[in-house]
Amino acid sequence: MSVSPVFVGRGSELAALGVALRRAREGQPQALLVGGEAGVGKTRLLEEFLAEAEAAGTVTMLGQCLEIGAEGLPYAPLVTALRRLHRRLGPELARAADGMEGHLARVLPEFGETDGEPNDEYGRARLFEHIGRLFERLGAEHTLVLAIEDLHWSDRSTRELLGYLISTLHHSRVLICATYRTDDLHRRHPLRPFLAELERQRTVQRLELDRFGHHEVAAQLAGILGTETPDRRLVERIHRRSEGNPFFVEELACSYTGGCSVGMSDSLREILLVRVEALPEAAQRVVRTAAEGGSRIEHQLLAAALDGTEDELLDALRTAVGANILQPDKDGEGYRFRHALVREAVSDDLLPGERTRINRRFATALAADPGLVHGAERPARLANYWYHAHDPARALPSALDAARAARRRNAFAEQLRMLERALELWDEVDAEVLATTLRPHDWAETYPPCSCDPGPLDDECQRLRLVDVLAEAVVAARRAGDRERGVSLAKRALKLVDETRDPLRAAWFRMNRARMLGHLNRRGYAEELTHALRLVEGRPPSAVQADVFSLAAGQAMLNSPVEADLVLAERAVAIAREVGATSVELHAQMTLGSLYTELGDPERGIATLREAIEGARRLTVPDLLTRGLNNLASMLGHLGRAEEAVRLAREGLAAAGALGLLRNTGGILAGNLAECLLLVGRPAEAAEVLAEWEGTGSGAEAHASFLHRLRGELALLRGDLAAVQEHLARAGAAVERDQSQHEVPAARLAVDLAGRSGRPLQARAALLDVLDGPSDLRDSRLLPLLARAAAVEADSRGLPSADQGRPAVLARITERLAAQRPVVPLHHGWVRLAEAEVARATGADTPAHWQAAIEPLRATGLPYPLVHALLGAGGALAAAGQRESAGELLREAAELADRLGDGWLRREIDHVIARVGVARSRPQGPAGAPMGARVEQSEPDGAAAFHLTPRETDVLRLLTEGRSNRQIAEELFISPKTASVHVSNILAKLEVSGRGEAAALAHRLRLFPAAAPLQPVGPGA
C-alpha cells in the first residue's frame, strides 16, 4: 500500500477550506477553486476536508467530471453528486424538490417523469433556477458542501450550471469546491475564461497547491514506509526524481519497497506502468479494458466486455484493487483508477487496434443490454464507444440519439457537439444505410417540411438529409450561445438548399442567420433578413413566413418604425393564426401592440398587448408572458402611466422568478421597474431594485446599456458626476445596434451631465450626435433630449464660448419639435417644455410658454419633468414682477426636487428663490393654510445674495467672461495667486465644483445685468 497513511503538508489549504465552511454555516455561501498539477494532492486534500466536514454534521456530496466516453453527456458530476444526496437524504430531498420534480428529472431521473415544457433556452434557464432553489431549500436545514473533481474535464453545461449556482446562491448555507489541473489548461482551454469570470466574484477563492519540499517528502515517505526517519539518501533521491510531486513520491516509494531501483526507469510514465506490468496477465487485461471504458466503469459493463467467467473476473479485479491500481467507486457499482495519471498511462500504452477492439466490445455489449449503465448516460456512452470503435454506420445514428437526449436535458452545448460529430461522419456512411437507418423526426422549431417537387426518388424528402441535421445544429448553436458557430452552420446549409425548389427552408436558414448576426452585432444582418423576406413574399401562408414577417417588424420597432412595419406585423399575426403557429402569433401580436403605440394609437396598442399577454397565460409559455409584461410596462412608462407600469414590471419580475427566467429577462424587467420608480419619484426603491439585480452576478451582458444608464441617472441625483460619466461610458460600450431606445435616453443623460458640469459645448455635441444619426424625426423618445438640450443652451446664454453656433442648434431643435405628433399628455408637456426652453435661450420666453407645459404635465402626476416647467415658470413670473405667484411655483418645484431626490436641482431652485426674494417655505396663516400676501425680500439681491465680497464679485464677473486667473489678475492689478484664492472662495460660496459651473450659474441668475440685460430666470441644466 503506497498511499500515505498520514496527511502531509496542506495545513494552510485545509484551514482555508475550514474558514470557508464556517462562513457558509453563517449563511454566506462560498466557492473555492483548488488548482494544481496532476498528482499534487488535490483529491487527497478534498477527501480530508470532506471527512472533517461530515464529522461536524455537514451534508457533503461529491461528483467527478469524466475524462473519456463522456462527450455529449451533460451534468455528469452533478448527476453523481445528486444521486449520492438522494441515497443519503431520501424523503427529505423529495420534500425539497416538491413542485420541481419535472424540471429536476432532466438532470436526475430518480426525481420522476420530466415535465412537458419545450426544450429551449428558457427551459434551460428554468432548469438552472430550479436546481438553485433545491439547494436553497436544502440549505435552510443543512450546511451543504458540493464538491466537484477534475473540472478541467467538465462539459460546458456543467460549467454553466456551476457558475449559475455560485453567482446566485446569495443567502444559502452552501460551500462549492472544485478541483482542476493547472498543467492541462492550455491557452485555449475552455476552463480558462470560466475561472477568470468566477474570480471576479467576492465569494470565490482560488487555491493553488504547490509541490512538496524536502521536509514534506520526508514526512510522506515516513508515513508510507512506516518509519520515523527514512534514509536521508533515499529521501533526496526520491525528492529529486519526483520533483516534489506527492503522487510520484508514492509511486517511487512503491518501486523502492518492491525492490526496484529508484533511478532505473527512463520516464515517470514507465514508473506508473511498473505496478501494472507486475500484475498477472488476466489482471493486466482487465486493467487495460477498464482504462478505455472511461473515468469509471460499471462492473456489469466490464464483465460483458471481457471473456471468461465471473470468478475469473473477480479474481483479476481483486488483484488490481489489492495492488492499488483500481479502486471500487464510492457508489459501489463499479471501479475507477486510483489516479487518472495511471489510467492515462495505461490507455496511452494500448495499441491502436487494441483500443478499437475494446471500444467495439463495450459498444456491442451496451447495445445488447441498455441496462448496463444508467439510462440517462446510455445514449452518450454508446455514441462515444461506437465512434472510438471506428464504425461510422453505427456511430452516426447513435450520435443523433445522444444529441436528442442532450436536448431533452436542455444541454444544448452537448447536443451541438453530438450533432457536429454526426456531420463529421455523414460522408463516411453509405447512402443506402442512411436511407434505412435515419428517418425524419421533430427537428428545429418552425423548420418547414421539404417543399421540393417530387424527384426521381419518391422518398427523397421522406428520409433524414444532411440539411435537416444542419437545421437542428443551427438551433442548438443558437441556444447554446455559440452564435458564431450557428452562423457558420447556417451558411453551410444554404449551400445545400435550392432556393427555387425549396424557398421556405432557405428563408428559415436566412432568418436564423439574421437573428444570430444581430445578437453578434455583426454586419450582414439586414441583408439576410431582407433576403428571407423576399423568399417568403407571395408564398402560401406558413409558420416560417409569419416568423420572418414578425422578426422584420420587431427589429423595425426597436429603431424607426413606419406604417409599412405595422402592416407587416398585422400580416404576421394573421398568417400565424391561420396556420396555427400560436407562439409566433403571440410574439407578432406583442410587436404589433408596440407598433400601434409608436405610430400614434396608444390605446389600441395597449389593448393588443394585453390580449397577447392573456394568450400567453393560457398557453403557459413563460418567455412570452414575461416578454408581454415587460413590453407593456415599458410602454405605459413611456406614455406617462408610470404607477401602472410599476405594478406590471413587478408582476413581470415575480413571474420571471417563479418561471426560472430571471437570467434571461430579469435584467430588462428590473430596468423597466427602476426607470418607472424614478419617474414617479421613488429613487430609493429604484436603487434597491438595481442593487438586487446587480447582486445576481449575471455573466450575461444583456441589457447592460440600459442598466448602466439607469445607474447613471441615480448617480446624477446623488450629485456624483464622476460616477455618471463612468456609467455613461459603460452604457456606450454596451449599446446595441443603432437602437434609439438605448441611444437617445443615454444622450439625454449626457446632456444633463454636461450642463451640470458647466460644459455646454459637450452637451451640444451629445445632442448633435443623435440628430445627425438615423433616429426617426417623429420618435417621441427625442422629446426629453430636445427639452434638456434647449435648457443647457438657455443656461449658457451669454457665455462667449457657447454663443457661437447656438442659433443653428436651436433651429435643429425647433425643426424636430415641429415634426412630432404627440398624442398623450406627457408628450404634449415635453413639447411645450422644449418650446419654452428654446424661447428662454433667445430671451423671448413668457409665463405663457411655461404655463402651456405645466398643464399637460400636471395631468401625468409625474414629478419629472413637471419640476423643470415649474422652475422655468417661477423665473419667468419673477422677471415679469409677479413674485407672489413665482414663489408658489418655486416652492412646489422644491418639493418635487426633494421627492425626486435631486439635490443639485434643489440647490438650483433655492438659488432662484434667493434671487427672486421669496420665502423658502410656504408661509402659514392662522389656520395653517398658505397666505396670499406678498412676502418681503428676506435676502439680498444679486451677487450679494451669495455673500460675495465686492472683490469676489469683480472676480466672478471676469470669470463669467471666460478669463483665466492670470487675465483676472492683470485686469484687477492683483497677483495670480490672489486671483486663484478668490476663485476658490467663490466656488465654495456658490456651492459649485468648477469654474464652468460658476459661470453658468451666474449667467442663469443674471447676476451682472450691466454686462447682460436681465432676462427671465430659468432652470439649470
Q: How many residues does the chain have?
A: 1021
Comparing 5 with 417, which gets the higher pLDDT? 417
Number of alpha carbons in the 13 Å side-chain half-sphere of residue 66? 25
Band (pLDDT 50/70/90 cuts) for residue 937 is very low
DSSP per-residue codes, 459-507: TGGGS--HHHHHHHHHHHHHHTT-HHHHHHHHHHHHTT--TTT-HHHHH
Alpha-carbon dihedral 844, 845, 846, 848, rounded to 10 degrees: 130
For residues 709-724, one letter each, b for 16 or more C-beta atoms within 10 angstroms of the residue's C-beta and e for the rest, the string is bbbbbbbbbeeebeeb
Pull the grid cell for residue 841.
435661450
Question: Helices 281-293 and 268-277: crossing angle, nearest 10°?
Answer: 130
Report the distance separating Cα 538 and Cα 33, nearest Å. Answer: 58
Comparing 668 with 683, which gets the higher pLDDT? 683
Report the distance separating Cα 795 and Cα 999, nearest Å. Answer: 10
In the 8-state DSSP scheme, what is residue 174? E
Residue pair 764/724 in contact (Cβ under 8 Å)? The answer is no
Residue pair 63/148 in contact (Cβ under 8 Å)? The answer is yes
Comparing 489 with 944, which gets the higher pLDDT? 489
Band (pLDDT 50/70/90 cuts) for residue 920 is low
Mean of all residue pLDDT scores within the chain: 84
Report the distance separating Cα 424 and Cα 418, nearest Å. Answer: 10
Strands 144-149 and 59-64 come out as parallel
Helix/strand/coil (H/E/C) assignment for every residue in 143-156: CEEEEEECHHHCCH
Sheet holding 30-36, edge to edge: 59-64, 144-149, 174-181, 30-36, 204-208
Closest CA to 476 of 522, 530, 422: 422
pLDDT over 50 (residue 110): yes
In the 8-state DSSP scheme, what is residue 334? E
pLDDT over 50 (residue 262): no
Alpha helices (H) in 599-699, listed in sequence order:
602-619, 622-638, 642-659, 662-679, 683-694
Element (H, E) at 175: strand 174-181
For residues 835-849, one letter each, b for 16 or more C-beta atoms within 10 angstroms of the residue's C-beta and e for the rest, the string is bbbbbbbeeebbbeb
Report the distance separating Cα 867 and Cα 892, nearest Å. Answer: 8
Residue pair 876/1014 in contact (Cβ under 8 Å)? The answer is no
Band (pLDDT 50/70/90 cuts) for residue 171 is confident
Cα distances from 55 to residues 50, 52, 61, 464, in angstroms, run: 8, 5, 14, 56
Chain centre distance of CA 196: 15
| Coil vs helix vs strand at 778 | coil
pLDDT over 80 (residue 296): yes
Within 8 A by CB and 6+ apart from 865, the residues are 784, 787, 829, 830, 833, 857
Pull the grid cell for residue 431.
447512402
Pull the grid cell for residue 602.
396608444
Task: Give per-residue pLDDT as tens, 534-554.
Answer: 999 999 999 999 999 999 999
Tell me, what's the pLDDT at 1016? 34
Report the distance separating Cα 552 and Cα 535, nearest Å. Answer: 13
Tell me, what's the pLDDT at 474? 94
The letter for the amino acid at 9 is G
Read off φ and ψ for residue 114, nearest 5 degrees: -75, 155
| Coil vs helix vs strand at 254 | helix
Percent over 70 (pLDDT), the chain: 87
Task: Give per-residue pLDDT as tens, 207-249.
Answer: 999 988 888 888 888 888 888 788 888 888 888 888 888 888 8
Pull the grid cell for residue 835.
418650446
Question: Helices 525-536 and 543-557: crossing angle, nearest 10°?
Answer: 140
Q: Judging by beta carbons within 10 Å of its beta carbon (0-12, 13-18, 19+), is residue 303 exposed, middle or buried? A: middle
Name the percent of the chain in helix, strand, coil, to the closest 5: 65, 5, 30
The letter for the amino acid at 510 is R
DSSP per-residue codes, 412-450: HHHHHHHHHHHHHHGGGS-HHHHHHH----S-STTPPPP
Alpha-carbon dihedral 615, 742, 768, 822, rounded to 10 degrees: 30
Strands 30-36 and 204-208 come out as parallel
pLDDT over 80 (residue 875): yes
36-56: average pLDDT: 90
The letter for the amino acid at 855 is E
184-193: average pLDDT: 85
| Coil vs helix vs strand at 762 | helix
Provide the β-strand partners of residue 64: 149
Number of alpha carbons in the 13 Å side-chain half-sphere of residue 343? 21
DSSP per-residue codes, 595-606: HHHHTT-HHHHH
Instruction: Compute how many other C-beta atoms are within 10 angstroms of the C-beta atom of residue 932.
Output: 9
Tell me, what's the pLDDT at 480? 87
Task: Give per-residue pLDDT as tens, 973-999.
Answer: 688 888 888 888 888 888 777 887 787
Residue pair 32/363 in contact (Cβ under 8 Å)? The answer is no
Task: Give per-residue pLDDT as tens, 301-333.
Answer: 999 999 889 999 999 999 999 888 898 987 768
Alpha helices (H) in 26-170, listed in sequence order:
42-55, 76-89, 91-96, 101-104, 121-139, 156-168
Task: Give per-residue pLDDT as tens, 267-284.
Answer: 666 777 877 888 999 999
Q: Which residue pairs from 229-235 have beta carbons closer than 8 angstroms and sit at least 24 positions apart in sequence?
A: 234/262
Report the distance separating Cα 58 and Cα 49, nearest Å. Answer: 11
pLDDT over 70 (residue 348): yes
pLDDT over 80 (residue 261): no
Q: Which residue pairs from 331-335 have beta carbons closer than 8 angstroms and sit at least 24 positions apart in sequence?
A: 331/80, 331/83, 331/84, 333/298, 333/299, 334/296, 334/297, 334/298, 334/299, 334/301, 334/302, 335/290, 335/296, 335/297, 335/299, 335/302
Pull the grid cell for residue 686.
429604484
Q: Judging by beta carbons within 10 Å of its beta carbon (0-12, 13-18, 19+), is residue 5 exposed, middle or buried? A: exposed
Closest CA to 826 of 611, 1013, 956, 639: 639
Bond into 926 cis (ω within 30):
no
Alpha helices (H) in 680-805, listed in sequence order:
683-694, 704-718, 721-734, 740-756, 760-771, 782-795, 800-803
340-363: average pLDDT: 90
Helix/strand/coil (H/E/C) assignment for every residue in 23-44: HHHCCCCEEEEEEECCCCCHHH
Band (pLDDT 50/70/90 cuts) for residue 286 is very high
Degrees, nearest 5: CA angle 203-204-205? 125
Pull the grid cell for residue 669.
424587467
Strands 174-181 and 334-337 come out as unpaired
